[in-house]
Amino acid sequence: MIRIAALLIPAALALAACNSDNSTPAPPAYPTNTTIPTVTPSNDWSIRYSPSQPNQPELTAAGLPIIAFPTASSCPQPPSSNLTNLPGLCNHVDYVTRPALPTPLTTSLTISYVVAGSCVLDYETELGNTAGDPPQLTLLLEHTGDEALNIFSYRWYSTPRGALTPGAHTLTVPLAIAHWSDVQGPPPGTAAQFEDTIANLYAVGFVLGGGNAAGHGLFCKSGSGTLTVTSFTSP
């Protein structure tokens, strides 16, 4: 499996982005865009590495970011290094982040969210990801200077996961290395690397996935559904 990076945690969850095209011959080599897109003051959330998805989620009337899961397309597909939101044969939503500055970190990170609709979520966005954990939400901390995606200790993923069953959910993760793992973990990297990321944050947010790839995206195998972030705080 071709990968920019992989996180080896107890459930063997690989957490690098996966965007690819299942065309024949091989898909075109789209340019990568790993930076956070320009955001507006009223909406600082971005959707990244997610084929056919907008650069930003819509906002509800109350100003809350709402993500519509894409419907089934030509999934699964061979993995590739297409890391853009350009249209692809297999549409899915992977990373949802915001700049670190509006969310100063204290002792923990908490997200509250609501999953609604009839969507049957599927994580088989690529060949080989057929079993493992159910669709889940994982919190993300991203170090400044991660554009090349080649420094494993620059992305940290919470080991506690959030459910994506219909209804309201809250996930709180302490900001201590015991509850996080970098791309290579376990072992989860060093305390010094984790503290360096906290001190030099570029983005915070969450990734979506399941099976053995917690950040490789989700889509609706049938039905339709949304995920609304009702709060994202560091209490």
Each domain of the chain, given as residue ranges in start order, spans 46-233
Is residue 223 within 8 Å of 119, Cβ to Cβ?
yes
Identify the DSSP state of 28: P
For 113, the token pair is 């969210």
Closest C-alpha among 92, 174, 102, 87 to residue 129: 92
Q: Residue 138 — very low, low, confident or very high, per pLDDT cuts 50/70/90? A: very high
pLDDT of residue 102: 74
Which segment of 16-20, 41-45, 106-110, 130-134 scores lowest on mean pLDDT? 16-20
Strands 225-233 and 108-117, sheet pairing: antiparallel
Q: Residue 122 — very low, low, confident or very high, per pLDDT cuts 50/70/90? A: very high
Starting at the earlier edge strand, list the strands of the sheet with 167-174.
58-59, 65-68, 225-233, 108-117, 167-174
Which segment of 109-113, 139-143, 158-162, 214-218 scores lowest on mean pLDDT? 214-218
Exposure b/e, 7-16, CB count within 10 A at least 16 = b: bbbeeebbbb
pLDDT tens track for 82-102: 688 998 889 999 999 999 877
pLDDT tens track for 21-45: 333 333 333 334 456 666 666 799 9
For 181, the token pair is 């793992």
Alpha-carbon gap, residue 23 to 146, rounded angstroms = 29
Q: What is the mean pLDDT of the chain?
A: 84
pLDDT of residue 213: 84
pLDDT of residue 61: 94
Angle at 98 (CA atoms; ends 95, 104), nearest 5 degrees: 130
Closest C-alpha among 83, 84, 57 to residue 70: 57
Alpha-carbon gap, residue 207 to 161, rounded angstroms = 10
